[in-house]
Structure 1
Amino acid sequence: MTHALKPTLGTLHLWGIAVGLVISGEYFGWSYGWGTAGTLGFLVTTLFIAVMYTCFIFSFTELTTAIPHAGGPFAYSRRAFGDTGGLIAGMATLIEFVFAPPAIAMAIGAYLNVQYPTLSPKYAAIGAYFVFMTLNILGVKLAAMFELVVTVLAVIELLVFMGVVAPGFSLAHFTAHGWAGSDSFSGTAMAGIFAAIPFAIWFFLAIEGAAMAAEEAKNSTRTIPRAYITGIMTLVVLAIGVMLMAGSAGDWRVLSGINDPLPQAMRMIVGEHSSWMHMLVWIGLFGLIASFHGIILGYSRQLFALARAGYLPQGLAKLSRFQTPYRAILAGGVVGIIAIFGDGINLQGMSLTAAMITMAVFGAIVMYIMSMLSLFRLRRTAPDLPRSFRAPGYPIVPAVALICAIICLAAMLWFNPMIATLFLLFMGVGYLYFLTTKNRRERQATPTTAQEGEA
């Protein structure tokens, strides 16, 4: 049985999804990188990652417009490298999008706890899952419109944050102990720069998820490039601005291991009882909600695409009467809620939130590598593939993205062996399912399903 998603999204919707998927990374998560590399070291890491993402998005857009498919990277790698390539990219993307939401949900709980100290952050996080899974099930256009509204509010709030703390800007605060806890660059500082890579990636993680809405985009050859390019420009400016302003507000070390660094940074400038402080907490929730809601949309489309192609149980590809993959939405939510109940566990000396961020980043980096390899391969093997947008500066720009991603993966394997082992375990389970269901897939294959990765 063939399942199809309906094209209803325009450029603004896609920009809202692309930026909204990521924007929680400006509100929390990145400050863990300060504890690893110091402010100056993490600034170096962030600039390196910004270059990688800019090159990646300009290259990735070529694939998204040429192959507008709900599976995104899964479809590109399947077209380039066959079923096994599709599996690697698809499973990596799924890990990225399933492990990012519980980290964001716990940050939502932490922000609410600032206002309501008696409210359990854990149960607030679980409540967020139920609310936004329901919204996603009710229809993609409603979900995308909501995403656009909360994303715009979240961007405005970040600009307000920077404006409010700007009068207290102190370069001396930002540079104090700026190199991995010291005042000078050293070998330890260099190690910190590489160890902080996952938290710099968190600034931009999941922007590629808008590709999973490409099958639901109107005139995807025009709307997707506009959304991606304006999206990455928006995020780079916000990431650098937020980090500089927060780090200059006071002793940045107080902010380096918490889930609500922006309210605490503002508290240093305006005091605990300022109306600005309460506004940031409430409107700041929009940033977290935008990413949380958008990534639920992303993981559901990835589960849907993998199930539709037979890589996962095909029941996950069933659509609701609203034409949304409701079983995929619920399945990803179950995994996220289980992860939230594990809050308090430390992995490799880091909090569960930091560990889930790192796990999500492992999935992202593997997917980035597979996507850039797919771009190079398809340029050779499918020269006639319609390409309404071609990567500028080819082959240099995609090569820069690929080399940067490989460096990131090597550094993460070195500094995070336990989480790397868990990541490989998840990938291995997916591969075993792939092998055991191969014969069934081949028996059930139809011309339509066989070409889904090539559409």
Structure 2
Amino acid sequence: MSTTPKLVSRDLQPVLGAFSLWGIAVGLVISGEYFGWSYGWASAGTLGFLVATLFVALMYTTFIFSFTELSTSIPHAGGPFAYARRAFGPTGGFLAGYATLVEFVFAPPAISLAIGAYLGLQFPGLDPKVAALGAYVIFITLNALGVGIAAMFELVVTLLAVGELLVFAGVVAPGWSLANFTANGWAGSDTFTMGTWAGIFASIPFAIWFFLAIEGAAMAAEEAKDPRRTIPIAYITGILTLVVLAFLVMIMAGGVGDWSQLANINDPLPQAMKMVVGESSGWLHMLIWIGLFGLVASFHGIILGYSRQMFALARAGYLPAYFAVVHPRFKTPVRALIGGGVVGVIAVFSDQWVTFGGLPLTANIVTMAVLGALVMYIVSMASLFKLRRSEPQLDRPYRAPFYPVFPAIALVCGVVCLAAVVYFNAMITVLFLGLMALAYLYFHFTSRQRDAAPLDAMLGTAE
């Protein structure tokens, strides 16, 4: 009987071009411009949150320019999991894979609740949680029908969402004033004090929400045509698009009236526009309906991301092999799509039995996703440094500019952000670590499962 190891099968279809990948990269994030970020105003004020966002934008810009080296050198559906596994062996792969799953599984529940909030403006009797459940059913189904269809839909709704943000800025511009934006802008005060720093650091998770999940485009690498050329184009143009939109939206929304009224709600843009044009304006209704495209783009795109991460982890033996099955007709990981959806729906309804710090459910879910993201960013940058030393001959079609400065900036910023999030969100951190402990127990007792998994040259041989 032959003992030749079975090689991993690349069952995902490479059909995505650079424009489609840009749509995925921006679409994954675009909902962050529509909601979530305004919770940062509650602790930092408009000016304090502006400082936090500048710091986070620096982190993401240097991170993406560095992360692109990894995603082009190792074009793998596992994304960060694959890079860390190759750099640090199975335990490194576990850490990055767990963190990425937390980020991508917990971001959609927050977005689905925002979809419910936007729909509630048009249909006051609609329960946001019922709307969230419906969103999961619809977009898991759409993702299951094939990545080509899913990517085309993602591109269209992303373009509409970007255009809508530009329309929003233009419509509210006549009502904008610097005095409104700066009023009590330092954590509720007109003057900066040492105590203002606490508010700035506490607002970091919501600044991260402006950019969270852009790295998920790397998980479509096995479905990209010529990933070593198309991924850099998508990532670099994508992060530049998002930085411009983040500052545009935040500044314009904060200057149209009393920004404190927008600080703890899931629909800050419609409410900001209402301050300028009134409740009966056609512009407002247009923003509500077309604004849904921004939420849908991210919701739909992140579902694509978590399913590929679950698929890759299962294929490598880090999750049950049940999730590594691709639909024979549509060539999509349907079981992984449904599995992540089940976890997300549980999170949507979790406020029935879990509350933390008196914060809205959406804010807590956002913080959970941010914790996963920051751990993954740190591990990814560490993987970049490690692979530069351990595999200098690795084919690198794209090399991080200004190495080692850019990845070092991203790494240090990531550590600072993680420390701030942990300090101000102790209970969410305990939950994150508790789930990690349970995941590690599974990892520890399933080594035979990984030994039996097909060999994957992209994961390397480090142990």
Same fold (TM over 0.5): yes
Alpha carbons 2:202, 2:424 under 8 Å: kept: yes
Paired residue type of 1:288:
L
Alpha carbons 2:315, 2:324 under 8 Å: kept: yes
1:334 to 342, 345, 370: 342
Please name the residue that 1:383 is paired with.
392
1:164 to 162, 168, 171: 171
Please name the residue that 1:453 is paired with.
459
Which structure 2 residues correspond to residues 226-375 of structure 1 after superposition, within 5 A?
A: 226-320=233-327, 321-343=329-351, 346-375=355-384
Cα distance in structure 2, aligned partners of 1:428 and 1:312: 15
Gaps of 5+ in 2: 1-5
Cα distance in structure 1, aligned partners of 2:335 and 2:438: 20
Paired residue type of 2:406:
V
Alpha carbons 2:106, 2:368 under 8 Å: kept: yes
> What is the CA-CA distance between 1:347 and the residue it aligns to?
1.0
Cα distance in structure 2, aligned partners of 1:68 and 1:34: 38
Paired residue type of 2:378:
I
Alpha carbons 1:11, 1:224 under 8 Å: kept: yes
Paired residue type of 1:327:
R
Gaps of 5+ in 1: none
Q: Is 1:439–2:445 an aligned residue pair?
A: no
Residues 244-294 of structure 1: CA deviation (Å, up to 9, x unaligned) = 000001000000000000000000000000000000000000000000000
Alpha carbons 2:315, 2:453 under 8 Å: kept: no
Cα distance in structure 2, aligned partners of 1:380 and 1:188: 42
> What is the CA-CA distance between 1:445 and the residue it aligns to?
4.0
> What is the CA-CA distance between 1:454 and the residue it aligns to?
3.6
Paired residue type of 1:348:
G
1:398 to 396, 402, 407: 407
Alpha carbons 1:50, 1:236 under 8 Å: kept: yes
Stretch of structure 1 that moved more, 335-344 or 172-181 = 335-344
Cα distance in structure 1, aligned partners of 2:146 and 2:366: 28
1:154 to 157, 161, 180: 161
1:31 to 27, 34, 38: 38
Q: Is 1:181–2:181 an aligned residue pair?
A: no
> What is the CA-CA distance between 1:418 and the residue it aligns to?
0.5
TM-score norm. by structure 2 comes to 0.96
Equivalent position SS for 1:391: coil
Please name the residue that 1:225 is paired with.
232
Paired residue type of 2:366:
I
> What is the CA-CA distance between 1:452 and the residue it aligns to?
4.5
Residues 118-146 of structure 1: CA deviation (Å, up to 9, x unaligned) = 11111011100000000000000100000
Cα distance in structure 1, aligned partners of 2:129 and 2:48: 32
Q: Is 1:40–2:78 an aligned residue pair?
A: no
1:206 to 213, 223, 232: 213
> What is the CA-CA distance between 1:74 and the residue it aligns to?
0.1
Cα distance in structure 1, aligned partners of 2:189 and 2:321: 54
Please name the residue that 1:428 is paired with.
437
> What is the CA-CA distance between 1:349 and the residue it aligns to?
2.1
Alpha carbons 2:324, 2:333 under 8 Å: kept: yes
> What is the CA-CA distance between 1:343 and the residue it aligns to?
3.9
Please name the residue that 1:113 is paired with.
120
Paired residue type of 2:333:
P
Cα distance in structure 1, aligned partners of 2:214 and 2:39: 20
Equivalent position SS for 1:124: helix
Which structure 2 residues correspond to residues 5-154 of structure 1 after superposition, within 5 A?
A: 5-154=12-161
Please name the residue that 2:3 is paired with.
none
TM-score norm. by structure 1 comes to 0.98
Alpha carbons 2:86, 2:458 under 8 Å: kept: no
Note closer, same or farther for the CA distance 1:445–1:268 as it changes in structure 2 (3 Å cut). closer
Cα distance in structure 2, aligned partners of 1:453 and 1:87: 12
Equivalent position SS for 1:419: helix
Residues 175-211 of structure 1: CA deviation (Å, up to 9, x unaligned) = 1111111111112210000010000000000000000
Alpha carbons 1:21, 1:290 under 8 Å: kept: yes
Cα distance in structure 2, aligned partners of 1:452 and 1:226: 22
Alpha carbons 1:309, 1:452 under 8 Å: kept: no
> What is the CA-CA distance between 1:346 and the residue it aligns to?
3.0
> What is the CA-CA distance between 1:30 and the residue it aligns to?
0.1
Equivalent position SS for 1:374: helix
Paired residue type of 2:369:
A
Residues 23-64 of structure 1: CA deviation (Å, up to 9, x unaligned) = 000000000000010000000000000000000000000000
Alpha carbons 1:107, 1:288 under 8 Å: kept: yes
